[in-house]
């Protein structure tokens, strides 16, 4: 090997690399705060909300879901798109192909780099994307979270699909009706650290302490990791471990569909009741074949729609995210910002044999 020639080559390449790095650094030193808050104009107004401000036109609103290839988010992002079209803004949907917090950070950076007015996101991790969101906020973007929240200080508004109490009440009531008010039940959840699931489960346990549910016993909480096959196996495991099981609550769309599929192909069909949070399209078959009596969900499209309006209201200075701020969200009517900047969409819709065919999502 000719060491000299290699040496030369190494020298030349390293020089080139160094030059590249330096040039990147040089243009960095000068154009530090290149952020596109020109479109938003004076949206930085921190002095307080101006409820009479009109929604601005041409707002750049970006949706960043947990991952791109998740049908639930496809539906809610399309709801957001409808809202953005109504207010004559620019809509954009970007996101990673796998649900990881680190790749979301990379996308948040890109969005703040592109000078978005509003970033609407659903967090894969309540903490991991905080730093990036704060940077984006500093660059002039308004941050709205939906479906899954971050720490409150990292965003202005969280659009909650439904209050945790609402979910807990609804789910316990549904299962109680179906099993006739007594017997053993189990919960099939998503992942053990899914913030919203855990909050719901804790409240369901409180709800079960009420006298009218005294004959219902919650035997266990299983985790299907929001993975179809895993949820399927866990359902199977539940039925084998607890022979007297009367009902299952699965407050996750993946879990309830997998459990439904398991039950409908097993001897337990119709005997063990199943309810939870699912989409009508996924559950239609199991409702029609008698596996499932009734289940619930909010409208993911409305959720995205509301989040887009909340973001637009923020960017137009109508609201600041403080408790008590009010804004109009198109066809959904008026909403009030609650404590910690939370806006609640409303009570969940219950789907059963009679109404399921009216819903397509």
CB of 325 to other proteins, least distance (A): 29
Count of other CB atoms within 10 angstroms of residue 8: 11
Contact between 244 and other proteins per CB under 8 A: no
Structure tokens at 33: 């705060």
Tell me if 187 contacts other proteins by CB under 8 A. Answer: no
Q: Which is nearer to other proteins, 268 or 298 (CB)?
A: 268
Question: What whole-number distance in Å separates Cα of residue 251 and Cα of residue 236?
Answer: 17
The correct pick among 173, 217, 230, 328 for binding other proteins (CB under 8 A) is 230
The first and second tokens of residue 332, run together, are 């959904």
Q: Rounded to the nearest whole angstrom, what is the least distance from the CB of residue 309 to other proteins in the complex?
A: 22
- Dihedral angle of Cα 23, 136, 116, 25, to the nearest 10 degrees: 0
Angle between helical axes of 253-264 and 228-241 (0-180°, round to 10): 60
83 is written with which tokens? 């809202």
Nearer to other proteins, 37 or 285 (CB): 285
Using CA atoms of 247, 250, 255, 260 in order, give the dihedral in degrees to the nearest 10: 40
Name which position in 220, 330, 349, 350 contacts other proteins (CB under 8 A).
220
Q: Alpha carbon 99 to chain centroid distance?
A: 11
Rounded to a whole number of angstroms, the distance between the first and last alpha carbons of the chain is 65
* 6 touches other proteins (CB under 8 A): yes
Nearest distance in Å: CB 182, other proteins:
22
Site for other proteins in 92-121 (CB under 8 A): 92, 94-98, 100-103, 105-107, 109-110, 113-115
Q: Does 325 bind other proteins (CB under 8 A)?
A: no
In the list 53, 74, 293, 349, the residue contacting other proteins (rule: CB under 8 A) is 74
Q: Is 355 in the site for other proteins (CB under 8 A)?
A: no
Give yes or no for residue 20 binding other proteins (CB under 8 A).
Answer: yes
Residue 44 or 106 with smaller CB distance to other proteins: 106
Name the one range near other proteins by CB under 8 A: 23-31, 51-59, 178-186, 294-302.
23-31
Please enumerate in sequence order all residues whose Cβ is within 8 A of that of 254, keeping only pairs 6 or more positions apart, or say none: 190, 224, 226, 227, 228, 231
Would you count residue 228 as binding other proteins (CB under 8 A)? yes
Interaction residues for other proteins, span 189-208 (CB under 8 A): 191-194
Residue from 148, 282, 299, 320 binding other proteins (CB under 8 A): 282
The CB-of-265 to other proteins minimum distance in angstroms stands at 4
In the complex, the smallest distance separating the C-beta of residue 11 from other proteins, rounded to whole angstroms, is: 10
Per CB under 8 A, the list member of 37, 184, 225, 332 interacting with other proteins is 225
Number of residues that bind other proteins (CB under 8 A): 82
- Considering only residues 257 to 276 of the shown chain, the ones binding other proteins according to CB under 8 A are 257, 261-262, 265-267
């Amino acid at each position: 090997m000719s060491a000299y020639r290699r040496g030369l080559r190494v020298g030349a390449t390293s020089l080139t690399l160094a030059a590249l790095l330096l040039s990147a650094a040089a243009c960095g030193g000068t154009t530090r705060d290149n952020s596109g808050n020109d479109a938003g104009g004076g949206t930085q107004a921190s002095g307080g909300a101006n409820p009479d401000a009109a929604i601005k036109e041409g707002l750049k609103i970006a949706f960043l879901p947990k991952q791109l290839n998740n049908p639930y988010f496809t539906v809610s992002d399309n709801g957001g798109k409808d809202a953005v079209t109504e207010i004559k803004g620019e809509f954009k949907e970007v996101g990673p192909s796998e649900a990881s917090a680190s790749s979301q950070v990379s996308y948040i950076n890109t969005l703040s780099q592109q000078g978005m007015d509003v970033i609407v996101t659903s967090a894969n991790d309540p903490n991991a994307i905080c730093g990036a969101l704060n940077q984006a906020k500093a660059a002039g973007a308004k941050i709205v979270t939906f479906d899954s929240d971050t720490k409150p200080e990292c965003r202005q508004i969280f659009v909650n699909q439904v209050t945790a109490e609402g979910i807990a009440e609804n789910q316990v009531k549904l299962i109680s009706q179906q099993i006739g008010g007594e017997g053993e039940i189990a919960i099939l959840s998503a992942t053990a650290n899914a913030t919203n699931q855990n909050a719901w489960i804790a409240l369901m346990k409180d709800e079960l302490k009420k006298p009218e549910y005294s004959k219902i016993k919650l035997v266990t909480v299983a985790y299907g990791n929001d993975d179809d096959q895993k949820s399927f196996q866990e359902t199977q495991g539940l039925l084998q471990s607890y022979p007297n099981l009367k009902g299952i609550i699965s407050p996750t769309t993946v879990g309830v569909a997998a459990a439904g599929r398991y039950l409908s192909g097993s001897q337990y069909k119709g005997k063990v009741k199943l309810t939870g949070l699912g989409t009508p399209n996924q559950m239609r078959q199991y409702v029609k074949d008698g596996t499932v009596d009734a289940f619930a969900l909010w409208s993911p499209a409305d959720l995205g729609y509301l989040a887009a309006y909340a973001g637009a209201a923020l960017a137009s200075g109508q609201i600041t995210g403080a408790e008590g701020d009010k804004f109009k969200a198109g066809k959904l009517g008026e909403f009030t910002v609650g404590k910690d900047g939370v806006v609640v969409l409303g009570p969940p819709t219950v789907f059963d044999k009679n109404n399921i065919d009216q819903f397509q999502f």
